Amino acid sequence: EISEMSERSKQNVAHGLAWSYYVGYLKIVLPRVKKSMEEFSRANTNLLVSRKTWKLHILIPLSCDVYDDLEKADSNIQYVTDLTETTLARAGTKKRVYKHSLYSIRDEENQLWHCAVEYATPLQSLYAMSQDECAAFSREERLEQAKLFYRTLEEILKGSKECAGTYRLIVYEDSEEAETHFLSREMLWHLRQQQHEEFSLAEEHPPHAPSTILDSAELNLQLSVSDLPHPLRSDGF
């Protein structure tokens, strides 16, 4: 009965996507991120200055509007190079390659900040489902699914010891009317926050977040415990 209720309300879609993203990708790549960035930093000492930013920055636009080319999303974001690849045998595929791209972000003073960044790819599935008549997702339902995806992924990663300190989730609400360099501003705020944490600057007040940073209250879907998706079996499988 609970499973049918979740199916009707489509709550299990985002929940399943978040778990699949974690188990099938993040749990594999995140524990290797810092080693990869450390290797790159030794060869490029002038780029990755702040160790606090040696993480995978995961973009989560609530609109589910994902660009395949970040440079087209914002001209202040430029591809630099790829980090060291990880090659594993996965699900019958020999030598499957996992890699991350390093980007530079230009700030207001024309200074460059560097970080590994990519979109949360399951958002592409949510967007595609909202365009497919068979899935019957409205724009409002897609937004709720994106919020649930973020909250579920956040909780999963918080409980993952092997992924601790290896990622930064950047959730934001964008629109067609957003300014040209909206995305780079969002990313710069997060990079500055991390650098601020590393050097423990003696400031009376913490830096202000941009208006687009969303807190937990704004992302609260007001779902009761009984409404949340539950496993179909209780034996751990």
> pLDDT tens digits for 40-96?
888 888 887 788 899 999 999 999 999 999 999 999 999 999 998 888 888 888 888
Q: b/e per residue, 63-75, with b = 16+ CB within 10 A?
A: bbebeeebeebbe
CA distance 138 to 158: 30
Query: What is residue 211's predicted lDDT score, i.e. its pLDDT?
Result: 46
Q: Is the pLDDT of residue 179 over 60?
A: yes
Distance separating alpha carbons of residues 118 and 34, to the nearest angstrom: 16
Q: In whole angstroms, what is the distance from residue 54 CA to residue 48 CA? A: 8
pLDDT at 11: 57
∠ CA 231-235-237 to the nearest 5 degrees?
60
Question: Is the pLDDT reported for residue 165 higher than 90?
Answer: yes
Strand partners, 57: 117, 168
Kindly indicate the confidence band of residue 230, based on its pLDDT and cuts at 50, 70 and 90: very low
- Name the band, by pLDDT with cuts 50, 70 and 90, for residue 29: very high
**Angstrom distance (rounded) from CA 84 to CA 99:** 7
User: What is the pLDDT at residue 55?
Assistant: 95
Crossing angle of helices 11-21/139-158, nearest 10°? 40
Mean pLDDT of all residues in 182-202: 82
Mean pLDDT of 145-161: 95
Fold of 15-204: Rossmann fold (3.40.50)
- Given phi > 0 = left and psi -120 to 50 = alpha, else beta, which region is 77? beta
pLDDT at 199: 58
Q: Distances in Å between the alpha carbon of 43 and those of 38, 48, 107?
A: 9, 10, 24
Nearest one of 132, 77, 98, 120 to 29, comparing CA atoms: 98
Cα–Cα distance for residue pair 4/59, rounded to 1 Å = 32
Question: Does position 224 have pLDDT exceeding 60, yes or no?
Answer: no
Q: What is the pLDDT of residue 131?
A: 79
Q: In this predicted structure, what is the pLDDT of residue 67?
A: 92
Q: With a cut of 60, say whether residue 4 has pLDDT above it.
A: no
